[in-house]
């Protein structure tokens, strides 16, 4: 009998500590992100600037365009003004069977700039960006004029020196492709564009510098990817059409072919990003599903270090899967906290504090550093930076950091609204904050739902500030997993462009 009791007690203790470990899974993504940010300082030593020299290859700029009449003319003008030898630059606009005035605009620009602006027309459109790019690639590769190919989006605006800053990396023969720092450039930016603007500092200016240090690039930005001709030929001269993440596939193929991919954070281009949740949801769902496809396609590569490329390194795998599995971690951590609440409250409280202290440290480090990485963008987006995790998570972070002050403030608020600070009320509040990691994604999803209701649309931005932009991205990632698991049809939902991009 006593043996049985001992076994039961051991199982009980084991179960509780398993739940604690599962709670701490919720801290892994932010801890991994902090590790990633900690490597950025190394970029001062491990960048590619010691190998750059002036290089001006003949560059073919490939612009896929589907109903881009609002932006394509301005983009062409900007590209022709690049500080780059004019005889070494050609623009190929692949018109994906546009039904607006895109062909008229491009043909007119072609007449103004004979031999420099070329209009290529697809009769059948709407199959996605990869098909459109391939249509142009076939024709560009058939001619030996092109030495380097710049793939971009129709709305992207290049700073005059940005292409030159990208081509200089080709002085190193090991480099197969270069990408630039894409910044949200809509003027004036609304609340959503400010969130995206801040996110792009973290996801591009910061994360890609870290990837330079690690020697493994996750993705060449779709609006700014420059390839050598040799690299394009090495990866088969075509863009992958079987997935929704053609940029990521191209990036992985380049590195697996033994060519280096470099991010130049000082080559800046400006792009227009979605201005509402619906637009963001469609764009990120496509990216998220694409990343799920990449994860499975290269399943034999992860966590297998190779002397030929850095994609199999443990650090790169950790960063990749922390983003990929972030919503799962959040749900598991929340559910485990709630379970512990009913099983062993003191242990749940200790686990909760451990989880949120770790997250608070990560949040302060990443936010303060990100704002300093790009002070120009930070001036417009600091509010979104602070509220990135959401106001409720921010309150929890404040509580874990300054509990004495927060307890006092909470009691004051309860007194103000005439709610007695009794046991049941406090237990309800604790249960709510335990559940919040998962619930924040639900609230973010609710923000999307109310945005589609005309009378409730005004509620959408406040709900995102309350739940957080981060949880909104997690909710989209979760939706990506579900759609991929269900084998949902792959649709190409293009982001609406309105020609609001302006360089400062």
Interface with another protein (CB under 8 A): 37-38, 40-41, 43-44, 47, 49, 52-57, 83, 85, 147, 160-161, 164-165, 168, 170-171, 209, 265-266, 361, 364-365, 368-369, 372-373, 401-405
Number of helices (H), then strands (E), in the chain: 20, 8
Q: Which residues contact 71 (CB under 8 A, 6 or more apart)?
A: 154, 155, 272, 497, 498, 499, 501
Q: How far is CA 493 from CA 274, 288, 373, in A?
A: 12, 13, 32
CB closer to another protein, 336 vs 387: 387
**CA of 431: how far to CAs of 17, 193, 356, in Å?**
19, 34, 15
CB of 213 to another protein, least distance (A): 11
Q: Shortest distance, CB of residue 450 to another protein, whole angstroms?
A: 35
What's the closest the beta carbon of residue 360 comes to another protein, in angstroms?
8
- Distance between CA atoms of 252 and 295, rounded to whole angstroms? 11
* 66 versus 388: smaller Cβ distance to another protein: 388
From the number of C-beta atoms within 10 Å of its C-beta (0-12, 13-18, 19+), residue 404 rates as: exposed
The per-residue DSSP string of 349-394 comes to HHHHHHHHHHHHHHHHHHHHHHHHH-HHHHHHHHHHHHTTT-HHHH
Instruction: Give CA 428 to chain center in angstroms.
Output: 35
For residue 83 the two structure tokens come to 């500080």
Q: Which is nearer to another protein, 56 or 321 (CB)?
A: 56
Minimal distance, residue 86 CB to another protein, in Å: 10
Minimum distance from CB of 504 to another protein (Å)? 17
Least CB distance from residue 487 to another protein, whole Å? 43
236: left (phi over 0), alpha (psi -120 to 50) or beta: left
Query: What's the closest the beta carbon of residue 82 comes to another protein, in angstroms?
Result: 9
What b/e readout covers 218-240, taking b as 16+ CB neighbours within 10 angstroms? bbbbbbbbbbbbebbebbeeebb
Q: HEC states along 5-48?
A: HHHHHHHHHHHHHHHHHHHHHHHHHHHHHHHHHHCHHHHHCCCC
Nearer to another protein, 199 or 272 (CB): 199
Q: Which stretch of DSSP H or E encloses residue 166? A: helix 162-167
CB atoms within 10 A of CB 367: 18
Q: Which residues on neighbouring strands pair with residue 260, listed in sequence order?
A: 175
Nearer to another protein, 312 or 389 (CB): 389
CA–CA dist 504, 493 (Å, integer): 29
Which C-beta is closer to another protein: that of 23 or that of 366? Answer: 366
The residue ranges of DSSP E strands in 164-244, in sequence order, are 175-184, 225-228
For the CB of residue 168, give the shortest distance to another protein in the complex, in Å.
Answer: 7
Q: Residue 131 and residue 144: Cα distance in Å, rounded?
A: 22
Residue 49 Cβ vs another protein, minimum distance, rounded to whole Å: 5
Which residues are 151's β-sheet partners? 62, 225
- The smaller minimum CB distance to another protein, of residues 161 and 238, is found at 161
Considering beta carbons, is residue 102 or 377 the nearer one to another protein? 377
Closer to another protein by CB, 54 or 188: give it.
54
Nearest approach, Cβ of residue 311 and another protein (Å):
24
- Pick the closer one to another protein by CB: 190 or 368: 368
**Between 360 and 444, whose beta carbon lies closer to another protein?**
360
Complex with another protein: residue 105 or 163, whichever CB lies closer: 163
CA 466, CA 350: separation in Å to the nearest integer?
25
CB of 56 vs another protein, minimal distance in Å: 5
3-class secondary-structure state, position 291: helix
Cβ proximity to another protein: between 160 and 305 the closer is: 160
Tokens standing for residue 199: 């996110």
Helices (H), 301-344: 314-324, 326-343
CA 118 to CA 94: how far, in whole Å?
9
Minimum CB separation of residue 140 from another protein in Å reads 18
State the minimum distance, in angstroms, from the CB of residue 207 to another protein: 13
């Amino acid at each position: 009998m006593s043996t049985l009791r001992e076994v039961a007690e051991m199982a009980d203790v084991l179960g509780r500590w398993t739940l604690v470990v599962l709670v701490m899974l919720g801290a892994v993504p932010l801890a991994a992100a902090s590790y990633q940010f900690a490597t950025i300082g190394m970029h001062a030593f491990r960048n590619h600037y010691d190998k750059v020299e002036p290089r001006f290859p003949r560059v073919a700029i490939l612009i896929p365009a589907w109903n881009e009449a609002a932006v394509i003319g301005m983009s062409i003008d900007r590209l022709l003004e690049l500080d780059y030898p004019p005889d070494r630059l050609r623009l190929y606009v692949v018109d994906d069977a546009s039904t607006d005035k895109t062909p008229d605009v491009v043909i007119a620009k072609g007449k103004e700039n004979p031999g420099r602006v070329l209009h290529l027309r697809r009769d059948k459109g709407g199959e996605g960006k990869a098909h459109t790019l391939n249509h142009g690639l076939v024709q560009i590769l058939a001619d030996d004029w092109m030495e380097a190919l710049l793939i971009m989006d129709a709305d992207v605006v290049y700073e005059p020196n940005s292409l030159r800053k990208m081509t200089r990396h080709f002085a190193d023969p090991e480099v197969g492709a270069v990408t630039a720092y894409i910044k949200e450039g809509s003027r004036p930016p609304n609340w959503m564009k400010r969130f995206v603007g801040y996110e792009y500092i973290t996801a591009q200016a910061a994360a890609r510098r870290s990837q330079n240090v690690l020697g493994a690039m996750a993705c060449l930005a779709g609006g700014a990817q420059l390839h050598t001709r040799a690299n394009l030929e090495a990866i088969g001269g075509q863009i992958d059409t079987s997935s929704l993440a053609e940029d990521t596939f191209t990036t992985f193929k380049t590195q697996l072919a033994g060519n280096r991919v470099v991010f130049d954070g000082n080559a800046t281009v400006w792009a227009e990003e979605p201005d509402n949740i619906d637009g963001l949801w469609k764009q990120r769902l496509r990216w998220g599903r694409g990343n799920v496809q990449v994860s499975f396609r290269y399943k034999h590569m992860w966590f297998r270090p190779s002397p030929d490329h850095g994609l199999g390194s443990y650090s790169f795998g950790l960063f990749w899967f922390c983003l990929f599995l972030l919503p799962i971690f959040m749900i598991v951590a929340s559910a485990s906290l709630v379970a512990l609440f009913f099983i062993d409250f003191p242990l749940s409280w200790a686990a909760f504090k451990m989880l949120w202290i770790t997250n608070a440290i990560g949040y302060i480090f990443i936010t303060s550093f990100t704002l300093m990485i790009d002070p120009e963008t930070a001036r417009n987006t600091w509010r979104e930076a602070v509220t990135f995790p959401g106001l409720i998570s921010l309150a929890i972070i404040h509580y874990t950091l300054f509990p004495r002050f927060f307890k006092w403030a909470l009691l004051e608020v309860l007194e103000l609204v005439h709610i007695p600070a009794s046991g049941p009320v406090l237990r309800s509040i604790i249960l709510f904050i335990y559940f919040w990691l998962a619930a924040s994604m639900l609230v973010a999803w609710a923000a999307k739902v109310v945005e589609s209701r005309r009378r409730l649309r005004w509620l959408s931005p406040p709900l995102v500030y309350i739940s957080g932009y981060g949880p909104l991205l997690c909710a989209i990632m979760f939706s990506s997993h579900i759609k991929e698991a269900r084998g949902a049809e792959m649709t190409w939902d293009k982001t609406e462009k309105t020609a609001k991009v302006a360089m400062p």
